[in-house]
Amino acid sequence: MAFIQFLVTILNQKYNIVNNHNFQIWYHKRVVIQENRTKVGDLVEYQIDELDRGIIRLLSKDGRIPFSEIANKLNVTEKTVRLRYKNLVQNDIIEVVGVVNPIALGLKAGAIIQIKTAQGRCEQVMEELKTMKEVRFITMTSGPYPLLIQINVQSQEDIRESILQLDKIEGIVEINTIIQLENYKNTFEYI
């Protein structure tokens, strides 16, 4: 027990850990404690380093890549990759999901639609847009159209139907539709 207290003291000095509870998390869960973590109030904010970036980069290219292959490419142990992966997921830095090819599902038509809303109605319109199945992306933007959405549907006729559906949403005062003719790049590689 004296050794553990000694270790807690060293960790407290080196990593600015404020109590033994943080040490217990480190000790039992083997959470990687790094010098590039920053303390915000009572919370410790996780900051990614080059190893994390390498893991993210490889997973962005192939979400099914084995941890052993990631470890080989980054010259670390598989256990290190597993722990880092777990930290990245737990800290909401990455989320590994299957990405669907809309064309393979028959969704061959797409449009980007700019939406102007009535004063004070932006949030209400956003909530309505979230319920539309064909809307795959919603963002708030600057300029005359505070909302931008992207839709994927089966045909040009379905784009027309979506526009008519948007016209029924209370709070939308103007839309500008940009038909997507061809997609040249669609990536999830951010690093």
Diameter over CA atoms, the chain: 74
Domain assignment present for 124: yes
Q: Which pLDDT score, from 0 to 100, does residue 104 have? A: 81
Distance CA 82, CA 33 (A): 15
Domain assignment present for 189: no
pLDDT per position as a tens digit, 32-76: 333 344 444 555 677 889 999 999 999 988 889 999 999 999 999
User: What residues make up the domain containing 131?
Assistant: 109-180
Could you tell me the CA-to-CA distances from 3 to 6, 8, 14, 33, 82 in Å, in that order?
5, 9, 16, 19, 28
Last residue of a domain, one of 40, 57, 90: 90
- Which element (helix H / strand E) includes 164? helix 156-167
Domain assignment present for 155: yes
Domain assignment present for 17: yes
Domain assignment present for 120: yes
DSSP E strand boundaries for the chain: 38-40, 43-45, 109-117, 135-140, 147-153, 172-180
pLDDT per position as a tens digit, 132-144: 999 999 999 999 9
Total domains in the fold of the chain: 2
Query: Which residue did the predictor score with more confidence, 20 or 132?
Result: 132
Q: CA 155, 138, 45 angle in degrees (round to 5)?
A: 140
Which pTM value belongs to this model? 0.62
CATH number of 172's domain: 3.30.70.920
Domain assignment present for 190: no
